[in-house]
Amino acid sequence: KAGVTQTPRYLIKTRGQQVTLSCSPISGHRSVSWYQQTPGQGLQFLFEYFSETQRNKGNFPGRFSGRQFSNSRSEMNVSTLELGDSALYLCASSSAYGGTGEQYFGPGTRLTVT
Amino acid sequence: AQSVTQLDSQVPVFEEAPVELRCNYSSSVSVYLFWYVQYPNQGLQLLLKYLSGSTLVKGINGFEAEFNKSQTSFHLRKPSVHISDTAEYFCAVSGLDTGRRALTFGSGTRLQVQP
């Protein structure tokens, strides 16, 4: 079974621009979560989608948004990029809402904001 | 809400020696506990998990962890490490208050295995 895939793997953007990251979960998984990883703040939960609905949201500003499609693929959008948004963005999929909480992570998208 | 403390930011160890990576957590609700490993330029790979039952859980690559509810700890151990175990290790919890979905991570422990 193929794992979680994320595209693109690397991205360079300029401050003030917006960016969209994509995540395809493991086949059959309906839950997708997003995490931000930075050297200073570590791994932080952004949000989770299940059946096209946002179920949980972390403590991030409204510039960070996401959505999930009917095939469970998810996109994350960051508007008005700031230098501090430079990070590794990880997507994780899970088989069901309210299950064992076991999540499978993709390789991440490394975003650099200049 | 939950919090996770990984007591050591770096752990140097010689090849074939035993190692313990420490993790303590705080939560007002029931939690599930996880250990993940991250190799350079890669995502996170699940090593092992504690959901319920036996407090000693075994994972991949020879790792095991013991859940201690009274001490709110979930330390990771390996009896003999290899050079290939060099990586960053993250302890994480998920709480019933978020439907056990959102993971709260510790700050990570960098394991450096020396020949």
- CB contacts of A92 in chain B (<8 Å) are 44, 103
Q: Residue for token digits 């997507």?
A: A91
Strand partners, A5: A24
Please state, as a whole number, how many other Cβ atoms lie within 10 Å of the Cβ of residue A101. Answer: 24
Q: Residue for token digits 């959008």?
A: A77
- Tens digits of per-residue pLDDT, A19-55? 999 999 999 999 999 999 999 999 999 999 998 999 8
3-state secondary structure B68-101: ECCCCEEEEEECCCCHHHCEEEEEEEEEHHHCCC
Task: Determine whether the interchain pair B101/A98 forms a contact, defined as Cβ–Cβ distance below 8 Å.
Answer: yes
Query: CB-based contact (8 Å) between A112 and chain B?
Result: no
Query: How close does chain B come to A81, measured CA to CA in Å?
Result: 23
Q: Residue for token digits 């290899």?
A: B82
Q: pLDDT tens string for chain B (115 positions)?
A: 789 999 999 999 999 999 999 999 998 888 889 999 999 888 999 999 998 888 999 999 999 999 999 999 999 999 999 999 999 999 999 887 666 678 899 999 999 999 9
Query: CB-based contact (8 Å) between A36 and chain B?
Result: no
